[in-house]
Amino acid sequence: MKKAFETLRWAGTTDGVLELLDQRKLPGRMEYLACRTPEQLFEAIITLAVRGAPAIGVAAAYGICLACRQLPDPSPAAETLKTVLKTADYLAQSRPTAVNLFWALNRMTRTAQQVLAANPTCTTGQLKEALLAEAKTIETEDRRMCDAIGRHGQQFIPDNAAILTHCNAGALATAGIGTALAPIYTAHAQGKKIRVYMDETRPLLQGARLTAWELAQSGIEAVLQCDNMSASLMKSRKIDAILVGADRIAANGDTANKIGTLALSILARHFGVPFYVAAPSSTFDLSIPDGTGIPIEHRRDDEVTHVAGSRMAPEQIGVYNPAFDVTDHADITAIITEHGVIERPCTDTIRHCLRQDNP
């Protein structure tokens, strides 16, 4: 599948800018936001101009390049490394749940350290080039990862299937064609007829605004529904499978995803609907034994009390607004990764798929 848009792109060389498709403006307007500083990128991440765990990771990698673009050449290597580490710590504070953010920042800091260790007298320009090359590699790997997830996951989508998805884990959430939507796009390209039901995904309506916008351009039949209609659909036997993305997966397979995913997994178990998670290996956090250790981001009250800028709730009302919840691994039929499918996810099956030995 060829994307009709770019979620993000680097324009220029080492003194270039990061351009983000501003998802705050969709579906009304398609505009790109130019980030020239880490501070601008930080704001774009926390306000969801760029969102989706893989896309945040790629953007953060380029954020390190933004921090170095104004450094004079030559500069002391120690000062350049200090800038890289300081920026990584800063960007890591933008959103706590999506582990891809930290994974990408760690790769960038490790690249800087390795370059300087191999050549302590390297110029700032050489270090900038190495960092930009690594960021571009991360972006390229993300695109390939999406394609691989699509290939591995399409087997779970039969012809004439009806698939339910939640939030947006499509091309807008990655540099490529998506995670949860990748198998759908791949199956569609193979000629399969598919109907996708989309939860609107309160409170920020990523399903209604973003997934619907994507699918409207793809030729795939798409049906929008309110979040509280999923049980009715499943009871009516109108859903063949549920396919969602992930922001962090613990060592045992417990999975953090957009708030509301947990309820879908429980409904799926009750009604006997297969429940699939699609995510790259960079979304796994094997340092966390289970989902109780996953940090959950809580967001502003006005995201719940207001819709499109208009207050929908009384003044001074209390608000509970976690951005994510955690689905128990026992309720996940399989996790689809770029390395293959993890059926009945648990600590052993995950480590086997990711080719990592027990510590």
Q: Which residues are catalytic?
A: 247
Q: Could you give the dihedral angle defined by the CA atoms of residues 345, 347, 349 and 350, in that order, rounded to the nearest 10 degrees?
A: 80
Distance between terminal CA atoms of the chain?
A: 39
Taking the C-alpha atoms of residue 304 and residue 335, their distance in angstroms, rounded to an integer, is: 31
Tokens describing residue 227: 């979040």
Q: Which residue has the tokens 């945040």?
A: 56
Q: Which of 258, 202, 253 is nearest to 53 (CA)?
A: 258
Cβ neighbour number for residue 24 with a 10 Å cutoff: 16
Alpha-carbon distance of 313 to 307, in angstroms, equals: 10
HSE toward the beta carbon, residue 182, CA cutoff 13 A: 30
CA atoms of 119 and 121, how far apart (whole Å): 5
Rounded Cα distance between 74 and 122, Å, is: 9
- Per the CB < 8 A criterion, the answer to whether 101 and 171 are in contact is no
Amino acid identity for residue 56 in this structure: I
